[in-house]
Structure 1
């Protein structure tokens, strides 16, 4: 009888465990449900609507037109100019944002005077509202602004309207870097601080110099952070429309006309099918770029592990 009771208990134990695990999963899904509903309502459902609009002639008649909207958008001269400007800005601003913030993080690691002051000054753009930032840059780079007044005292009397000339691109690039360097720098400082000291000590014992330690130890150890900062900078470069719009309006100087300007103008004219097609093309391009970045980071990480 005792043996039978033990066998019965052993048989019941897995069933009880399954019930316990099932109960925990149900509780987990219960807590996740509000977030999942929010993601579906505010992200998945609108994206599905955009996909549907991109294959219609318009939201009223709702006639299926295949890929004609995508062809029309791709052949549109304004879209091509906006796309080239956006890619040009991203391929310039993102490497600069990653490289300069990494250099700043390495400098902040060393023993320099007023390190706390410099760190706080680089983080100050994160605490300033966008509208205030735009107002400051308008005052600085206006035709009668601070920059032209300073140049006039140095002998350059030609007043440049920075935001309506070829130099507008430099102004935007400077604004982007000023806003993002501090945040990227903090991420790199955190990654550098997490490197095991034993690795650096071993490298020093092996007579490795500072550059060799940085290149072969530190840089490889923080490669996931470099990839994260690159992806975040890439996403932020596609979101720079907000600052350009507040600085220059709907139709800025040619070099500042971005994809978001094209889509915003299509939205203003209620051309939803062209807007949706442009948004999907932009989504595909960004996804491809991020995919290749992740593949590169994955291969680089395997090389580090080896």
Structure 2
């Protein structure tokens, strides 16, 4: 019976495994081939040459640095704001569902509509400059200025804060109120309750939100591309821009190499996060 059940499970999984292999696994393996052979008809083995050249490429280094800065700014700000809103929602007695629906609105708006709105809003003749002109401030082309990164950070937080808030809210409701009641009886203040109860029991949710926030940081490229184009201001030229431009120029070697460098970076980051999670569990 066990053998038959396992066989049925494998049969049901086959379509998904086949699709995953055809569209993800096999192309990923083929991409590795492009990273170790020279481009041309007579392909020759070059080893780590493309990786070395890529790490010396100023454009790639700038794109990688910008991506790291963007993630480093967006993820903590988004998580802190989401956690604060989630804790505020938990204290409400009425209109909780309405507020949760409102903060999720940016997620259901089509990407093209979001990009068009913010592109027009921050353009030279846009609404933002018109508002500033009322106060006598001269407007500029915000998307092609040093403020472009801040604008993209704002758009990311505006779009993703609702999703993170819902995850944190669900995590907060899984913490029994008896823990807080016992802590209050023992004389623990709000800071102590947050440190020893909320943070500890919310840590698995925090890890999930952290991972999803990083993933969403890479997904925001759609808005960036539609708003600022393939060659935006230097401060918002991300690694996805570099990979997209290499694809358009049919330079599969540099595209594949940059993709593997990015995957390696993400794997290292997830490994560090996993070690941190194990360390906290061991302390508990």
TM-score of the aligned structures, taking structure 1 as reference length: 0.89
Which residue of structure 2 aligns with residue 103 of structure 1?
84
Shift of 1:238: 2.2
Identify if the C-alpha distance between structure 1 residues 46 and 27 changes in structure 2 by more than 3 Å, giving closer, same or farther. same
Which residue of structure 2 aligns with residue 91 of structure 1?
72
Q: Which runs of 4+ in 1 moved over 6 A?
A: none
The residue correspondences of 1:2-21 to structure 2 (distance < 5 A) are 20-21=1-2
* 1:223 has 2:236 as partner: no
* 1:271 has 2:271 as partner: no
**Structure 2: gaps of 5 or more residues:** none
1:252 equivalent among 222, 232, 238: 232
Cα deviation 1:207-244 (Å, max 9, x = unaligned): 22222212210111010100110111112112322111
- Which stretch of structure 1 is more off in the superposition, 121-130 or 108-117? 108-117
Which residue of structure 2 aligns with residue 132 of structure 1?
113
Shift of 1:117: 4.2
CA distance in 1, matches of 2:196, 2:244: 46
2:141 equivalent among 156, 161, 168: 161
* 1:214 has 2:214 as partner: no
Shift of 1:111: 2.4
Asked if 2 retains the 8 angstrom alpha-carbon contact of 1:263 and 1:275, the reply is yes
Identify if the C-alpha distance between structure 1 residues 47 and 144 changes in structure 2 by more than 3 Å, giving closer, same or farther. same
TM-score of the aligned structures, taking structure 2 as reference length: 0.96
Which residue of structure 2 aligns with residue 294 of structure 1?
274
**Structure 1: gaps of 5 or more residues:** 1-19
Identify if the C-alpha distance between structure 1 residues 152 and 116 changes in structure 2 by more than 3 Å, giving closer, same or farther. farther
Which residue of structure 2 aligns with residue 238 of structure 1?
218
The residue correspondences of 1:25-174 to structure 2 (distance < 5 A) are 25-58=6-39, 60-111=41-92, 115-156=96-137, 158-174=138-154
Larger Rg: 1
CA distance in 2, matches of 1:23, 1:47: 33
Asked if 2 retains the 8 angstrom alpha-carbon contact of 1:227 and 1:294, the reply is no
Indicate the RMSD between aligned Cα atoms, in angstroms. 1.4
Cα deviation 1:264-283 (Å, max 9, x = unaligned): 11111111011101110011
Which residue of structure 1 aligns with residue 166 of structure 2?
186
CA distance in 2, matches of 1:151, 1:106: 34
CA distance in 1, matches of 2:280, 2:121: 43
Shift of 1:116: 4.3
The number of residues matched between the two structures is 284
CA distance in 1, matches of 2:95, 2:126: 31
* 1:205 has 2:185 as partner: yes
